[in-house]
Structure 1
């Protein structure tokens, strides 16, 4: 498995974790942009992991990004812990490094924009990936 820092182009899958839905996006370090993908309905952990396995097999990402929800002051809450657990499970299941990105306002901003209605989760995953690329450049 190549090290993400030794590969000139890093492919990354991003996840906006939710207890009901998980938004997914894919991006690369060359463009620093993300392509919004599907939403995984998070109703059965086995099926959820199978769908993520299929995405990893298809895209062969170097690493994964998971949004980390926190309160506006940065304090953690119940969903922060769930997102961390989700990221840890991804590392355990797939052996890929997981990076957490502050998602404090991504979903809130998208929910206020009518063009994203029904697609908030995946667009939030896309924003997370773009933020990840900006922070690393």
Structure 2
């Protein structure tokens, strides 16, 4: 039980969403636009301290057929860094089709909305029986 933060990792921006295991509803939270890793993780540290998540979810991109590409490897590394730096359990969720849902939308908050879709997918896949 508790708060979950979700990250839609990108090289330029990281979308962030929040939800909790009680309501099981994801909400867009913010977009981290820092370019340097230190700045990204400083912003993430603030979010971790504020929200105190029990779990972090990271969207895992891949080609439509499921094969990995360069960003897949970077997302795995990012998830490992989240776990290592902050000691919060981290899971990866297939995000292949989350972008298609938002393909008609524009603007910076689209990254946070994508994170919310990924987190909602996590909630839906892990529904309590």
Q: Quick check: TM above 0.5?
A: yes
The structure 1 residue matched to 2:126, chosen from 124, 132, 136, is 136
Aligned pairs for 1:18-57 (under 5 A) are 18-57=10-49
Instruction: Provide the secondary structure at the position in 2 that maps to 1:31.
Output: coil
Distance 1:78 1:42 in 2: 20
Aligned pairs for 1:30-109 (under 5 A) are 30-109=22-101
Aligned length: 126
Distance 1:74 1:10 in 2: 31
2:117 is the counterpart of 1:127: yes
Distance 2:48 2:5 in 1: 8
TM-score, with structure 1 as normaliser: 0.88
Shift of 1:108: 2.6
Shift of 1:131: 0.7
Task: Give the root-mean-square deviation of aligned CA atoms.
Answer: 0.9
8 Å contact kept, 1:12–1:62: yes
8 Å contact kept, 1:26–1:36: yes
Distance 2:14 2:34 in 1: 6
Structure 2 gap ranges (5+): none
Instruction: Provide the secondary structure at the position in 1 that maps to 2:102.
Output: helix
Structure 1 gap ranges (5+): 1-8
Shift of 1:120: 1.5
